[in-house]
Amino acid sequence: MLDINDFPENLVEYDCVRIRDTRTVWLNAASMESLAAVLDAGAPDTNFARYFSYVSKSNRCFGEAELDQHDRRMYLAERYGGRGVGDNGGGGRVGNIGPFQAKGVGPNPLARGSSTWHSYGSLNLIDAAYEAIYSTVLDGILPLGCAKIHGIIHTSQGGALQSLNAATKDAELLPTSGAILVRERTLRPAHFMHADLFAPPKPAGLMREPQRIRAVHRRLKTRFESHDHFIQFLGKFILSSAKQFGFARAARIAHGGVTPSNVCLDGRWIDLTEARFLSGGKNFRGLTTFYDEPQVITEVVTQLMYVFGKSNVSRFNVEPLLNYFQKTFDSCFAYYSLEILGVPDANLSAIAESEDGKAFAKAYSSIVLQGKRPVADLPAGLDRDDPVIAFMRLAYLSLADIEASLPKLGALLRCPPADALPVATAFRNLFRRAIAPQDEDVAPEAFRSQAIASAVKALRWACLSSYFYRDRIASHLYHVTANKDLSDLGAFIQECVDQSTWIFAKACSGDVTILETKEVRIGFDQARSVYTATAGGERTFQRYEDCLAFIHACHPDLRLSDAFDPFPYLEGLAAVLANLERMPCRSA
C-alpha cells in the first residue's frame, strides 16, 4: 500500500516547540492499540497531551510564557495541490510525527495564504470537536469509513481564532479556545497535484511545484510494473469512491467540502468540518453542492491521469475510467438504497441489479434529488415533511395495502397513482426475494415480522439522523465551550459516538432497536414478534400502539442527550407499524 512517506518530495521539515499546560479533551477508545507506543496505560490522557502538544514556533496565538522553547521537535508538513488549496502549498496547519498527523500545529512553511484565516496555523476547539464527531460517526457508517481521529487536545483559551458568520477578514476574527486534533496519517489524491498559486518562500529552499510534481509522478511510476497496473490503481480508487459516494447519496450524507485534498486515495473521507446529514430533497450548497459531490471524483481521476501521463511521457484515454465510475456509482447507489430502506441483505447485490431493483432505485433517487435549487439553510430538526421519510413509510405501507398507498405515492413521485404502481410492485417483489432468495414459500407471520423489523431499521436511520444535524451539534458545542467545561465537551463527543452505534446499527433482523436511552430501551423482537420496553425489567407488547402508550405514561420526559426529543420519531412509526401488524395472513 502506498504511503505519504514513499514520496519525500512532498514532505517538508519544520521546527515545533511544546505548549505548556495543555489538556486532553477526548480520546477515541478505538485508538488505544494505535496509540499504545506513546501512551502510559495508567495515565493515557496525560501522556496523550504531553506527547502531541507541540506547535510551530511562529504561531501567533501563543505568548512566550505559554511555550517551552527548550522542548523542540521536528514535524513534517505535507505538500499537495488541487482545487481548494488556494495559495498555500499544502496543509498549512498540519504536521506528521511517525504514523500520526496533528492538525492545528502550524503555520508551517506551506502556509502562504493571503488571509489570516487560511494561514495562521491553529485549529479552534469547536471545529476540532465537530470534525471528531463526524469523522468517528461516519467511520462506522460509510463503506470505506474515514481517516481515524485519535483524540483532541485543548491548547489554551486564546489558542485559535473564531470566524464570525463565516467571515474571513481579520477584523471579524476573534480569539477562542484552541485545539490540536490527532489523526492517522493518510495519502490523498492532492499529493499528486499542482498547487498552482503557491510560491515557495526563498529561504526555505523548497523544490518548485513543476519539479515536485514531476518527481512524485516518476516515483509513482516505479511502483507499477506497467501502465495497466497504474490503470488498475486508479480503478481501485474509482470503485472505493463509487461505494462511498453512492452510499452517501442514498443515506443523505454530505461531505460538505469535497476536494482532492479532502478524500484519501483508498476512498476514505477526511477533514469533515463541514459534513452533515441532510433532510430529504435538499440540494445542500457546500463547497460543492450535495448533488454534484460525486463528480469531484471524475475531476480527480482526469487530473491524476493527465499529470501522470505528462510526467512520464505517456498518453491515456480517460473516458473508459469515467464511464466506469458512473456505471459503478449507479450500481452502488441502487444497492445502498435498498440497504438504507431496510431490505434484508441476503442476495442484495443480485436484487439491486434486477429490473425491480433498478426501477425502485430510480424512484428513490428522484425523491432524494427532488429539490434542484442549491440551498444553504437546512432544517435544524426533524422535518415532518421530509419526502424521503414519506417515501419510506409509503413503501412499507404498500406491503400491507398496495392500492391504498398509491394516491400518496403518486403525489410524492409527481405522477398519476397508476404510474406509481410499478414502484410499489417492485418494492414488494424485491422485498420478498430478499427474504426468500430461492423463491421458496414464506410463512405469512415471518413476512410480516420481517417487514416490521425492516421498517423500524429504515425509519430509525432516516429520522434519528436529525440528532446529528449540524445546527444542533454546533450550537451545543458553542454552549459547552463557552462554559469552559472541557469534561462536558469530551462527554458530549463520546455521547454522539455512542448514540450512533445503535441509531445506525445495520441489523434489520433479530432484536431490532427502536430507541435506546439511559432510562429505557425499546425494541422489536422479530423472533417473538413482540415489542419490548426494558427498564430494569422487560415489558412486552403485541401492538406498537400499546408500547408507545406505555412509554408516554411511564417516561413522558424521555430524551436523548442534549434534550433531543425522540417522540416525533416514535409517533411517526405508529401508522406504518399498525398497518403492517394488520397485514393479511399472506406474504404476497
The answer to whether the beta carbons of residues 442 and 436 sit under 8 Å apart is yes
Calculate mean pLDDT across residues 246-251.
Answer: 98
Which among 74, 67, 69, 109 has a CA at the least distance from the CA of 92? 109
Helix axes 470-482 and 125-139, enclosed angle (nearest 10)? 140
- The 10s digit of each residue's pLDDT in 69-80 is 999 999 999 999
The DSSP call for residue 269 is: B
- The 10s digit of each residue's pLDDT in 166-196 is 555 565 789 999 999 999 999 999 999 999 9
The answer to whether the beta carbons of residues 470 and 276 sit under 8 Å apart is yes
Cα 264 from Cα 135, distance rounded (Å): 13
The residue with cell 522542548 is: 71
- CA 348, distance to chain mean position in Å, is 23
SS3 174: strand
Calculate mean pLDDT across residues 452-474.
Answer: 97
Predicted local confidence at residue 168, as pLDDT: 54
Quote the mean pLDDT of the chain: 94
Calculate mean pLDDT across residues 100-119.
Answer: 88
Which among 127, 105, 78 has a CA at the least distance from the CA of 18? 105
Question: Residue 36 pLDDT more than 50?
Answer: yes
Residue spans per domain, the chain: 4-186, 217-333, 341-581
Using a 10 angstrom Cβ sphere, with 0-12 exposed, 13-18 middle and 19 or more buried, the burial of residue 472 is middle
Residue percentage of the chain with pLDDT more than 90 = 86
Q: Which of 260-264, 341-345, 382-386, 433-437 has the highest mean pLDDT?
A: 260-264
- The 10s digit of each residue's pLDDT in 261-306 is 999 999 999 999 999 999 988 899 999 999 999 999 999 999 999 9
pTM exceeds 0.85, yes or no = yes
> How many C-beta atoms lie closer than 10 Å to residue 87's C-beta?
17
SS3 433: helix
The C-alpha R_g of the chain, in whole angstroms, comes to 26
The residue with cell 432468495 is: 437
Question: Residue 587 pLDDT more than 50?
Answer: no
Question: Residue 204 pLDDT more than 90?
Answer: no
Predicted local confidence at residue 171, as pLDDT: 58
Predicted local confidence at residue 416, as pLDDT: 98
Predicted local confidence at residue 298, as pLDDT: 98
Write the CA distances from 556 to 83, 289, 403, 436, 464, integer angstroms.
Answer: 51, 40, 36, 41, 19
The torsion angles phi and psi of 202, rounded to 5 degrees, stand at: -60, -40
The residue with cell 394516491 is: 407
Cα 373 from Cα 371, distance rounded (Å): 6
- The 10s digit of each residue's pLDDT in 321-330 is 999 999 999 9
Predicted local confidence at residue 66, as pLDDT: 96
Cα 266 from Cα 234, distance rounded (Å): 10
- The 10s digit of each residue's pLDDT in 514-540 is 999 999 999 999 999 999 999 989 999
Question: Residue 585 pLDDT more than 60?
Answer: no
